[in-house]
Each structure stands twice: as C-alpha cells, then as structure tokens.
C-alpha cells in the first residue's frame, strides 16, 4: 500500500509539472520581498491578534468588520477586505431585504448564508456600499469570495439563468474596476468568468486546489492529480491573458502534519503560485513551517495519505 501511495504522489507531481503551463511556457516565479525569496500572504478573519503578527507578509486578507487595527501595516503590506460576492449571511437586514425581493436562490446551512441572485440591482448597490465601507476603513482593496455559489446555483436552475449570472458577474467586476481604478482586487476562483475579467483584477485565488480538511472529522486529504491540473490550468491561463496578475492558493491541512504542509507549499511554488496553508475556520495565524536540512531529505507525509 505504501508503494502504491508513493506512486500516486509521484504521479501527481509529474503530472502537475507537465500539464499545467499553457502553451508550453514556464510561468515566471513571483517577485518577493522576503529574505528566502518567497512571497507570502495570509488570511485572518478575527481581531484577537495584533496586526504586527502579519508584518512579514506581503499581502493579508482581513474581515471587513472583525479585524485588528492595521494602520501599522499601511505602506508595507497590502491589506484586502473580505467581500462575499455571491452569498449573504442569514439573520441580517440585507438578507431580509433580498428575501422580500426574491433575490435569494438557496441557503448554505453550514455557514448560515444564503446564495444571492447576482443579477439583482439591490445586491449591486449592497456590494457598492460594502466596498465603499472597506475603502473608508483604509483597506487597499477587496477579496471577492463565494462567486462560484451564485454561478453554480443559477446554472443549475437553467442554462439561460446561468448565462445571465455570468454576464452580471463580469459587469459587476468591470464596474468595480471602473469606479475604483487604483483599488486592488482579488477574485477567489470564479473560473467560469475569469478569462473575461482577468485584465480587471490584480490577483486570482485558487482555494482548495490541492487539499482540504473535513471540518467534522479533522481529517486532511489531497485531491486527485487531475483536479489540481485543471485548477492550476485556470490560474495559469489567467496569467497568459494578464501577465502581471499574481496567482495565490489557499489550502486547508492538519497543522500538526508539518511535513505535509511543507510539501503543499513546495508543490504550489513549483508552479509559480503564492501559497498559504491554514485551518478551515480562518481564525488562526498559521505560519509556514520552516524546512530543515534533515526534513528536506525525508519523504513528505503527504505521500502516505490516500486521496
């Protein structure tokens, strides 16, 4: 069994190395201010830790409401505000108003959030207000999340509704760029519309590209090689359209498995991505584990996990 799993891991690494780069081009390595040559970023949706915790990062994403005072990071670290583009949290005024206007498509009970019909003009105005609020608080830009939820449910309803949702998503992002030409914009996934908006954003994020952790069991697993190949291909294709775009990844993994985390970082960096590996609740600071010479010569524990 161990030999089989090692073969699976080797297959994934080789497949990623040969199949992810569009048009046979090797992606340029990301620029960095870090001493070891690696650019780093983090996500943190709480306010218990001081902003100085993230001073060594080139980019950080905070919650728009619950976040530390980050003034000391200004001019050193790019600070983005979380914006949910395709979902609204339950038990809020926004959710109630959208429900009254029949602009909700479904609920995600795990996070107590409702998927929004992004063609709604009311939702467009709500997004505008959230962005203005973020910029007024000093954020350098926004990270757009949950777009996939809205696109998926619209497409499940009907192909026609799916197309309208995609059109609305493209126009929303283009409008954000037109209204705020200097604002930094990160898009989490949204691969259905990414080719059409790549030139309007600064960063694209591939969440859960390589691994995930089951919240109920705490067990971590890596995805099959073809899953990573496909997702990595989307990111690299965006770079082919917009050469200056930066490509980020976010994976969830057991923080006690140091070698597994190191392997995830190494695989992503081999493709020119800027990775962060943390816990699913995104309320902890999980710095990248250091790699010693002894550890570098040992097989990663990711090899011993059955996908």
pLDDT, tens digit, for every residue of 247-291?
999 999 988 999 999 999 999 999 999 999 999 989 999 999 986
Q: Are 87 and 113 in contact (CB under 8 A)?
A: yes
For residues 84 and 61, what is the distance between their CA atoms, to the nearest angstrom?
13
- Give, as one character, the DSSP assignment of residue 144: E
Q: Specify the range with the lowest mean pLDDT, choosing from 46-50, 61-65, 87-91, 122-126.
A: 87-91
DSSP 75: T
CA distance linking residue 15 with residue 270, whole number of Å = 12
How many Å apart are CA 235 and CA 210, to the nearest integer?
13
Query: Does domain 2-24+40-304 sit in CATH 3.20.20.70?
Result: yes
Q: Quick check: 291 and 262 in contact, CB under 8 A?
A: yes
pLDDT, mean over the chain:
86
Residue 35: per-residue pLDDT: 61
Q: Which residues of 206-238 are buried (b: 16+ CB within 10 A; e: fewer)?
A: bbbbbbbbeeeeeebebbebeebbebbbbbbbb
Inter-residue contact 203 to 186 (CB < 8 Å): yes
Angle (CA) 204-260-11 rounded to 5° is 80
89-103, 107-121, 270-284: which range is least confident on average? 107-121
Closest CA to 92 of 120, 117, 112, 122: 112
Query: Angle, to 10 degrees, between the axis of helix 2-19 and the axis of helix 258-270?
Result: 30
Model confidence at 219, pLDDT cuts 50, 70, 90, reads: confident
Instruction: Name the token pair of 228.
Output: 């990573």
* Confidence at residue 277, expressed as pLDDT on a 0 to 100 scale: 96
What's the token pair of residue 149? 């939820």
């Amino acid at each position: 069994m161990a030999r089989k799993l090692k073969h699976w891991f080797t297959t994934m690494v080789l497949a990623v190395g040969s199949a992810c780069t569009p048009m046979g081009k090797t992606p340029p390595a990301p620029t960095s201010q870090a001493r070891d040559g690696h650019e780093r970023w983090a996500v943190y949706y709480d306010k218990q830790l001081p902003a100085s915790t993230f001073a060594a990062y080139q980019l950080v994403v905070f919650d728009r409401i619950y976040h530390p005072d980050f003034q000391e990071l200004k001019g050193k670290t790019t600070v983005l505000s979380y914006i949910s583009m395709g979902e609204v949290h339950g038990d809020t005024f926004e959710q109630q108003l959208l429900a009254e206007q029949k602009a909700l498509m479904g609920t995600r009970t795990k996070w107590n959030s409702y998927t929004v019909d992004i063609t709604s003009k009311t939702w467009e105005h709500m997004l505008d207000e959230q962005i203005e609020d973020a910029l007024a608080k000093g954020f350098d830009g926004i990270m757009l999340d949950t777009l996939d939820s809205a696109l998926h449910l619209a497409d499940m309803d009907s192909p026609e509704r799916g197309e309208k949702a995609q059109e609305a998503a493209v126009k929303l992002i283009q409008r954000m760029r037109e209204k705020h030409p200097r604002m930094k914009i990160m898009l989490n996934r949204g691969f259905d519309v990414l080719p059409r908006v790549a030139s309007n954003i600064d960063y694209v994020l591939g969440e859960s590209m390589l691994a995930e952790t089951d919240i109920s069991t705490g067990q971590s697993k890596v995805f099959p090689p073809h899953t990573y190949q496909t997702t990595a291909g989307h990111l690299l294709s965006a770079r082919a359209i917009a050469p200056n775009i930066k490509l980020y990844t976010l994976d969830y993994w057991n923080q006690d498995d140091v070698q597994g985390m190191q392997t995830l970082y190494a695989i992503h960096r081999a493709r020119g991505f800027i990775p962060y590996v943390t816990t699913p609740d995104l309320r902890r600071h999980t710095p990248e584990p250091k790699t010693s010479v002894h550890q570098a010569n040992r097989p990663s524990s990711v090899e011993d996990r059955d996908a």
